[in-house]
Structure formats: C-alpha cells, structure tokens
C-alpha cells in the first residue's frame, strides 16, 4: 500500500501573504474616521506584532478606550474590502516553495476569511490556486474538527492561536515571524519550529521527516 502523504496546512494572511500594508492602511483610515491621530506605520505595525491591546492602540492614537468595540467593528467591516485587499503582497519565495512541496505533500490552505469569493480572486491573482489540494474556511481555534481533522499534520502559521491548538492536537507547529506577530512573541508560545518565512520550510521538513 502506498504510504500516505504528510499534510501541510498553511495559514494565508501573514504566512503566504504580506498583510502589513493592508493592516496599516485599515488602521489609519479607521483612526481618521473616529477622529483620532494615527501613529506612524512602523510604530503601529510593531505594536501589532507584539499583540498590543486595542486600548493601547487607541490611547496612542489619541482616542478614548470606550471606542474599543467600534474600532473592532470597523476592522471587520474593512479588512476584506477590495481596496484594502489590493495592498496584499506575496511573501518572498512562496510559489517556488509550494511548487517543490506539491508532489511530496498534501497541501491545504486554511483561512478564517469570511469572503470566500475574494479569497479565490486573490488565489487566482497570485496564481497559487493550483498548488492546494484543499481549501478550508475555518478559524484556527477549530482546527482538528471537520475536514482538517486528520493525523500527521504540519501547520505553518503566523499567529499564536495556531500554536496553541496544534499543541493540543499533538501535530507539528511551524511558526513564521514574517507576519502579524514578532519572533519574540511567538517564541513565548514554544512552537515546534520557528522560521522567518516559508523559504526555510524545506529545512524544517527534512528534520520532521527524520523524526516521523
Ligand atoms: Mg495569519
């Protein structure tokens, strides 16, 4: 019987896609709408990568803490709009890495995006649809339930939510620090592996294969 291929689950935003410009533009537009004073791009992005609280972000932007839920609503309302999605860029090396992994592994894309059509449009735009055997619309916290709920998964993602759930499932977590969280922040969650971006994934996988 043929040996089952190992599955690699990839998060999308912040892992395969560089979301820094999108996030910072959404932030700036919301703060302006709410009557605050946006802080510098570099500063807000550094705060986000430390997982700073919304209260802190509001206070640095000269807004009161009672706008917290309004701010959160505005983010949800804007983050998947075309004008912001147009700012997304491909992380370095992504097509080459996926191409090299495609035959050896089952590649799954997992995203908590709500607008499926926009996600497919982006996949076509970046010419990545072809690499994935499956696309799952699921929140990181429910990973392991439903379609993704199989053994021997390696999960590559840029946020701590994935590390926490992957540990519970006894899968293998690979954290990338090119996205929404810094290296230092992700390290505090002790992922199995931590790399800057997917270009280092082949090295990680050669270690995993030796252990499996
Ligand atoms: Mg992400």
pLDDT tens for the 212 residues of the chain, in order: 556 789 999 999 999 999 999 999 999 999 999 999 999 999 999 999 999 999 999 999 999 999 999 999 999 999 999 999 999 999 999 999 999 999 999 999 999 999 999 999 999 999 999 999 999 998 877 787 765 555 679 999 999 999 999 999 999 999 999 999 999 999 999 999 999 999 999 999 999 877 66
Distance CA 163, CA 171 (A): 10
Phi-psi region of 92 (alpha: psi -120 to 50; beta: other; left: phi over 0): beta
Going from the Cα of 5 to the center of ligand 1, the distance in angstroms, rounded, reads 24
Going from the Cα of 2 to the center of ligand 1, the distance in angstroms, rounded, reads 33
Contact, 68 vs 36, CB < 8 A?
Answer: no
- Give the pair of three-digit tokens for residue 159: 């946020």
Going from the Cα of 159 to the center of ligand 1, the distance in angstroms, rounded, reads 6
Going from the Cα of 181 to the center of ligand 1, the distance in angstroms, rounded, reads 9
Does this model's pTM top 0.85? My answer is yes
Going from the Cα of 150 to the center of ligand 1, the distance in angstroms, rounded, reads 21
Going from the Cα of 37 to the center of ligand 1, the distance in angstroms, rounded, reads 27
Going from the Cα of 137 to the center of ligand 1, the distance in angstroms, rounded, reads 13
Domain boundaries, the chain: 7-18+90-211, 20-85
- In this structure, which residues have their CB less than 5 angstroms from ion ligand 1? 11, 13-14, 158
**Which CATH superfamily groups domain 7-18+90-211?**
HAD superfamily/HAD-like (3.40.50.1000)
């Amino acid at each position: 019987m043929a040996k089952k291929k190992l599955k690699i689950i990839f998060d999308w935003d912040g892992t395969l896609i560089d979301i820094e410009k999108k996030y910072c533009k959404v932030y700036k537009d919301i703060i302006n709408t709410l009557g605050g004073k946006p802080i510098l791009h570099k500063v807000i992005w550094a705060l986000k990568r430390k997982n700073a609280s919304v209260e802190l972000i509001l206070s640095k932007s000269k807004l009161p803490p009672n706008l917290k839920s309004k701010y959160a609503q505005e983010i949800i309302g804007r983050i998947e709009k075309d004008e912001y999605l147009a700012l997304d860029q491909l992380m370095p090396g992504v097509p080459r890495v996926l191409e090299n992994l495609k035959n050896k592994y089952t590649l799954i894309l997992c995203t908590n995006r709500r607008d499926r059509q926009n996600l497919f449009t982006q996949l076509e735009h970046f010419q990545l649809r072809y690499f994935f055997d499956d696309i799952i619309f699921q929140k990181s916290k429910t990973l392991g339930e439903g379609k993704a709920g199989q053994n021997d998964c390696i999960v590559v993602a840029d946020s701590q939510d994935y590390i926490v759930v992957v540990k519970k499932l006894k899968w293998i977590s690979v954290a990338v620090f090119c996205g929404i969280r810094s290296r230092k922040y992700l390290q505090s969650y002790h992922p199995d592996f931590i790399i800057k971006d997917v270009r280092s994934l082949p090295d990680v996988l050669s270690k995993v294969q030796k252990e499996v």
